[in-house]
Structure 1
Amino acid sequence: MRAKDFFEAAQGLPIAPLDHIVGPGGVIVVAPHPDDESLGCGGLIALAQAQGRAVVVIIVSDGCGSHPNSRSHPPERLRALRQEETREAATALGLESSSVLFLGLPDRSVPQDGAAAEEAADAIADVARNIDASAILATWAHDPHCDHQAAWRIAAMAHRRLQTDRALLAYPIWGWSLPPDAEVGAAPEGWRLAIDDVLALKQRAIAAHRSQVTDIVENDPPVLILPESALEPFKRTYEIFLRGSP
């Protein structure tokens, strides 16, 4: 199916309650970079937390690739800033900062296989067991960023390790920007989650990622921050979750 047709169909997926989408247990959100968790799953995280579910956000990369030539924020300082922003975003969604785990793999070079990817999958599977997770969510396999694709593969590895009926779900971030004629496989299967009641919390979480939505970090040449036009899809009153296959 072409990307244009895929996303037109995805926007017509049925609205379903949280329990139907993620099952009865805990929820793990696997995000390739700090901010993807808020963009793609901010509403789901807030709703799950309000229900008293165990929710763990796992950030796969160190986030240092967003400003590779910054003099004001060399890698160590940028890493610390992006972790601080992610914890602030988690707090906005109702999570304790201890519910965010950073795996620290290299931004822009998250491995799709090999020892480091296997270790990351082991870590995700361990957390899933510890919180009795009924669902693992990760970025869509066709998202046009290598780290997003790697995060999906790592999450699928973790899912296979668990050997249970836990749900494996994908959330698209930048798939909207694919060329309209790009082939993305079969028609979408999944659901939309209504997030009207927590949309303000999601927007607060996105705004907490200041290094991505403002120019507080100097870089040479300047790095394009996320403009309002890029953030429009994340102002919808629903989030899309696609049924995945490991």
Structure 2
Amino acid sequence: MSSAVSFFTDLPLRPAKAALVFGPTLVVAPHPDDETLGCGGLIALLRQAAVPVWVVLVSDGTMSHPGSQRFPAAARQALREAELRTALARLGVADTALTCLRLPDGRVSSQDTAAIAQLNQLLLATRPVTVLTPWRRDPHPDHRATTALVQHALAQLPTTPRVLEYVVWAWERAAPADLPQPDEMQGWRLDIHSVLDQKQHALAAHASQLPNGPIDDDPTGFYLTPSMLAHFAQPFETYLEPLSPAEA
């Protein structure tokens, strides 16, 4: 067992009802499928309780199969956004609650001033109690850039919502330095066993990212491996929350 898996699976487990204290929640996802992988269970629990959830898709998602001829970039973007809308519907999130920034997949910039302004305006319009963003050192440059964009946007608000960071690639790719350091974060797991089937149903909507998906003419194209998917078939999700100076 890797050090990352040991770290995440050893975190304390909180009951599903703990999700309700998060209140209206904004989820920021670097790519279509990150929202379901990282926090699909939490989204489902919130929506079951009629708590508002908004989702921001940061990138255009086009680099998963860059060699496809049948699905050129515009078609890949359209397909992946359609998959995302289906996944969100299965989690109970309205289509009108999705915002797509469409930054270049693989080249999301943490200094994109237009994206920061869009995020800031959305935060002001929705006024979420909680914001969910990727783990700040998740081992993918778009994930790290996404969290930096969110941090820039939050810094411009008069009051800051609660921020939780969810884990995607750190399960398999994290080096020791990528993991939370002592006195940096409070980590815990959320029990999602009651909505695990719903999460898996939502994940199945992202068919282009799964083995034997519809984009079959790019032999170097990306898909989520069985070992990766296994992390997100567990009856819990992992969250990291920054410690305040007083707590550290």
Deviations 1:148-186 (A, max 9, x none): 111111111122122424111110101022355445351
1:65 to 2:63 alignment: yes
Query: What is aligned with 1:192?
Result: 189
How far did residue 126 of structure 1 move? 2.3
Equivalent residue, structure 2, for 1:86: 84
Distance in 1 (CA, whole Å) between partners of 2:4 and 2:218 is 37
Secondary structure of 1:56's match?
Answer: strand
Q: Which of 112, 132, 137 is matched with 1:137 structurally?
A: 132
Contact 1:156/1:245 (8 A) holds in 2? no
Structure 1 residue 242: Cα displacement: 0.4
How far off is 1:5 after superposition?
Answer: 4.2
For residue 175 of structure 1, what is the aligned residue in structure 2? 170
3-state SS of 1:102 partner: strand
Matched residue, 1:34? 32
* Residues 236, 185 of structure 1: alpha-carbon distance in 2 compared, 3 angstrom cutoff: closer
Which residue in 2 is equivalent to 1:9?
7
Paired residue secondary structure (2:88): helix
Equivalent residue in structure 2 for 1:124, among 119, 127, 137: 119
SS of equivalent residue, structure 1 residue 53? coil
Q: Structure 1 residues 207 and 166 mapped into 2: Cα distance closer, same or farther (>3 Å)?
A: same
Indicate yes or no: 2:217 matched with 1:209: no
Counterpart contact for 1:43–1:202, Cα < 8 Å = yes
Change in Cα spacing, 1:180 to 1:105, as seen in structure 2 (3 Å) is closer
Conservation of the 8 A alpha-carbon contact between 1:22 and 1:134: no
- SS at structure 2 position matched to 1:91: helix
Unaligned segments of structure 2, at least 5 residues? none
- Write out per-residue CA displacement over residues 94-137 of structure 1, whole angstroms, 9 at most, x where no aligned residue: 11111111100000000011xxx232222223222322201111
Cα 1:4/1:121, change in 2 over 3 Å: farther
Do the aligned partners of 1:54 and 1:131 also contact (CA within 8 Å) in 2? Answer: no
Contact 1:63–1:107 under 8 Å retained in 2: yes
The size of the alignment, in residue pairs, is 241
Identity %: 36
For structure 1, the residue ranges without an aligned partner over 5 or more in a row are none
Please identify, of 215-224 and 12-21, the stretch whose mean Cα deviation from structure 2 is larger: 12-21
Residues 235-244 or 23-32, more deviating? 23-32
Partner of 2:234: 236
Please report the TM-score for the alignment, with normalisation by the length of structure 1: 0.89
Greater shift after overlay, 38-47 or 161-170? 161-170
CA deviation after TM superposition for structure 1 residue 20, in Å: 5.0
SS of the residue corresponding to residue 138 of structure 2 reads coil
1:4 to partner: Cα distance: 4.7
Q: Is the contact made by 1:33 and 1:59 (CA closer than 8 Å) also made in structure 2?
A: yes
1:185-241 CA distance string (max 9 Å, x none): 514413211111110110011110011013311344431421222100001111111
1:21 and 1:191 in contact (8 A); partners too: no
1:154 alignment partner AA: L
Q: Structure 1 residue 164 and structure 2 residue 168: aligned?
A: no
Q: Which aligned pairs between 1:106-125 and structure 2 lie closer than 5 A?
A: 106-113=104-111, 117-125=112-120
